[in-house]
Amino acid sequence: MTASLKLGVAGLGTVGAGLLQLIETHGERLAGVLPRPIEVDAVSARSRDKDRGVSLQGVRWFDDPVALASDADIDVFVELIGGEDGPAKAAVEAALANGKHVVTANKALLAKHGVALARLAEENKVSLNFEAAVAGGIPAIKTMREAFLPNAVSRVYGILNGTCNYILTVMEDEGRTFEDVLREAQDLGYAEADPTFDVGGFDAGHKLALMTSLAFGTEVAADQLHVEGIESITKADIEAACELGYRIKLLGVAMLTPSGIEARVHPAMISQHSAIAEVSGVTNCVALDGDFTGPLLLVGAGAGGGPTAAAVASDIIDVARGIVLPPFITPVARLKPHHRARIDEHCGAYYMRLSVLDEPGAMAAIAKCMGDQGVSLESVVQRREKKALPGSGMPHSEGAPATVIMVTHETTEDAIRRAVAAIESIEKVAAKPQVIRIEKL
């Protein structure tokens, strides 16, 4: 009888418990189609007594994940602890150094130490698989490593954070504020108590850094991305986007330009008629532009115990089949340095929202600031904000600021920043301008 592929699983949270449930449910079926049956041999977690909804009878227990990773009897170390350093890093290093295949869902670890860990895996001729680290149940990594490999990729992009996509979707559908929907997302478990990593764009940045390396054969460089979050998006922006025929999404985009790789995470307005605009709620998507295949869009669950556990299992199945590939497609020795394109060279159209005192000369001064930087306008819409006349209950507009919404023709980031800096110095501009990039997809 063929020897089973023995797993050592570190971390029995939502994903770890989901993986054990998946193997319990489908282990017999998988054994019928794989060269080796898959067996959970040992686990490590913080608590032995927690009810995880799956039996651990006959499974060896390790209090120390590093000891588990070094154990002679396991074939694959599955790291589901999380964190860019600490026990997760030490355990993965120990497993690779001891000739164990590693499967991980840890995007933070790979974004910071991916190149060094890939080198260690290649030196020991073992796998370092991380399908679950990007977009949960969407087979983004496997697609890039295998099916899309014949193509030269010019751009990879997507909606890479379900928390942000949920917040922006509900803001549009229900006309609510960012703060209100964020509280709801926290109550539902979509957002952490400290949501900065998600709503600040950093989670999406880690995922984009990994996809950038895979797409362009460069070293992982999470610190070379331009990252903005969605905290500044207001109801007014959502409403304006709808009226202009756009939706606002937090996008991660990496593309080749003549001056280097332009990699950025930020809110963007995209056409309501684009396929990606229909990706709503906690759903994620990953898109690839290839020279032979053309554009490809993958849509699915970007998080959750079931989808992420299935992604982990798909990596384990590759090991059972004897498939060992360089972690970042290109062997580490041939990975190119990440040459960052300057964000101020980015070209595109922009949305700008201003609060302007309705006084003579205000719009002329704004137009001059734009014209001085060579920024031409596609459209300008002005709305006067109504305020109640004291004691009458009747609205009036005298002295109230007007909301001015401008959409530019294609221009550079540098020109927009210079124009905004000049506009901010105009006394008749009552608040900091809101600027959102318009993305052609």
**Residues identified as active-site:** 207
**3-state SS track over 320-389:** HCCCCCCCCCCCHHHCECCCECCHHHCEEEEEEEEEEECCCCHHHHHHHHHHHCCCCEEEEEEEECCEEC
- Beta partners for 255? 155, 262
Q: Point out which residues pair with 437 in neighbouring strands.
A: 268, 350
- φ, ψ for residue 160, nearest 5 deg: -115, 5
Contact call for residues 235 and 398 (beta carbons, < 8 A): no
d(Cα 178, Cα 201) in Å, to the nearest integer? 15
3-class DSSP state of 243: helix
Instruction: Decide if 221 contacts 340 (C-beta within 8 A).
Output: yes
CA distance 103 to 313: 9
Say if CB 248 and CB 268 are below 8 A apart: yes
Q: CA separation (Å) from 107 to 46, 82, 140, 303, 381?
A: 21, 8, 13, 13, 42
Q: What angle do CA 314, 161, 89 make, to 5 degrees?
A: 60
Burial 136-166 (b: 16+ CB within 10 A, else e): bbbbbbbbbbeebeebebebbbbbbbbbbbb
Strands 411-412 and 347-357: antiparallel
In angstroms, rounded to a whole number, what is the distance separating the alpha carbons of residues 348 and 140? 27
Among 281, 268, 307, 273, residue whose Cα is nearest residue 170: 281
**Are 61 and 12 in contact, with CB atoms under 8 Å apart?**
no
| AA identity, residue 279 | V
CB 171 within 8 A of CB 165: no
Cα separation, 2 vs 76, whole angstroms: 16
For residue 243, give Cα distances in angstroms to 172, 234, 269, 404. Answer: 12, 15, 12, 14
- Type of residue at 429: V
